[in-house]
């Protein structure tokens, strides 16, 4: 596969930092505090972002906000269309999600199918009081009636483009880049 051309940097480390700080305050504001909040990220990068958000909210509110991750592989609507994939890691905070406000975190919001799968996965774990969605980049092209409550950056894209999110915990640096004319991503 030819390397897609690397387009402009959408968010650099400082931008991402500011976006996360803003989102963490938005979450506190809309939940009227941080009691009964749980931040759940979708592996792999969503889980890292969830952890960062939980740390910021904990620091701002002075109480420990639990964070975890929820793997959606087995809930995907295209599960039967490709060879079985390795599962991501699921960590649900010990007190569960019942009656809590779950903030679901992913890096890029695109078709909305991942979020749909995550909602099904949450449904099998318990019954939260509410589920909110936070994403770093909303690139449009929704295929399902899903929208994010908290968005780092709205980024109009073409379908052929893709967004590459790199985070220091996994990739060694924080950077979000638009990849132009990418081959159809798998």
Partner 1 sequence: MIEHLLSTADLSRDDAVLILDTAGEMENLTDRSVKKLPALRGRTVVNLFFEDSTRTRISFEAAAKRLSADVINFSAKGSSVSKGESLKDTALTLQAMGADAVVIRHGASGAPMRLASAGWIDGAVVNAGDGTHEHPTQALLDAYTIRRHLCGGSGDLAGLRVTIVGDVLHSRVARSNAWLLHTLGAQVTLVAPPTLVPVGVDSWPVTVSYDLDTVLPETDAVMMLRVQAERMNADFFPSTREYSRRYGLDAQRAALLPQRSIIMHPGPMVRGMEISDDIADSDRAVILEQVSNGVSVRMAVLYLLVGGSREGAGETS
Say how far apart CA 126 and CA 121 lie, in whole Å.
9
What minimum distance in Å lies between the beta carbon of 34 and partner 1? 25
**Interface with partner 1 (CB under 8 A):** 71, 74-75, 79-90, 92, 96, 120, 124-126
Nearer to partner 1, 69 or 157 (CB): 69
Place of tokens 């803003």: 22
What minimum distance in Å lies between the beta carbon of 147 and partner 1? 24
Give the phi and the psi of residue 154 in degrees, each rounded to 5: -85, 125
CB atoms within 10 A of CB 76: 17
Say how far apart CA 67 and CA 64 lie, in whole Å.
9
Nearer to partner 1, 117 or 155 (CB): 117
The DSSP-derived string for 78-126 is: TGGGSSPPPP---B--TT-STTSEEEEEEEEESSSHHHHHHHHHHHHH-
Nearer to partner 1, 77 or 181 (CB): 77
Nearer to partner 1, 63 or 144 (CB): 144
What minimum distance in Å lies between the beta carbon of 83 and partner 1? 4
Give the phi and the psi of residue 82 in degrees, each rounded to 5: -140, 160
Nearer to partner 1, 71 or 175 (CB): 71
């Amino acid at each position: 596969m030819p390397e897609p051309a690397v387009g402009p940097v959408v968010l650099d480390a400082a931008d991402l930092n500011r976006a996360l700080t803003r989102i963490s305050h938005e979450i506190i504001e809309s939940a009227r505090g941080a009691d009964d909040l749980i931040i759940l990220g979708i592996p792999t990068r969503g889980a890292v972002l969830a952890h960062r958000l939980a740390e910021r909210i904990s620091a701002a509110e002075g109480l420990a906000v639990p964070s975890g991750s929820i793997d959606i592989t087995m809930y995907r609507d295209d599960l039967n269309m490709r060879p079985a994939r390795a599962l991501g890691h699921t960590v649900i905070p010990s007190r569960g999600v019942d009656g809590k406000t779950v903030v679901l975190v992913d890096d890029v919001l695109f078709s909305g199918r991942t979020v749909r799968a995550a909602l099904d996965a949450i449904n099998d774990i318990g019954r939260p009081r509410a589920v909110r969605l936070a994403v770093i980049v909303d690139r449009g092209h929704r295929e399902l009636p899903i929208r994010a409550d908290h968005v780092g950056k709205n980024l109009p894209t073409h379908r052929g483009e893709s967004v590459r999110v790199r985070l220091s915990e996994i990739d060694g640096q924080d950077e979000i880049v638009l990849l132009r004319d990418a081959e159809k991503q798998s």
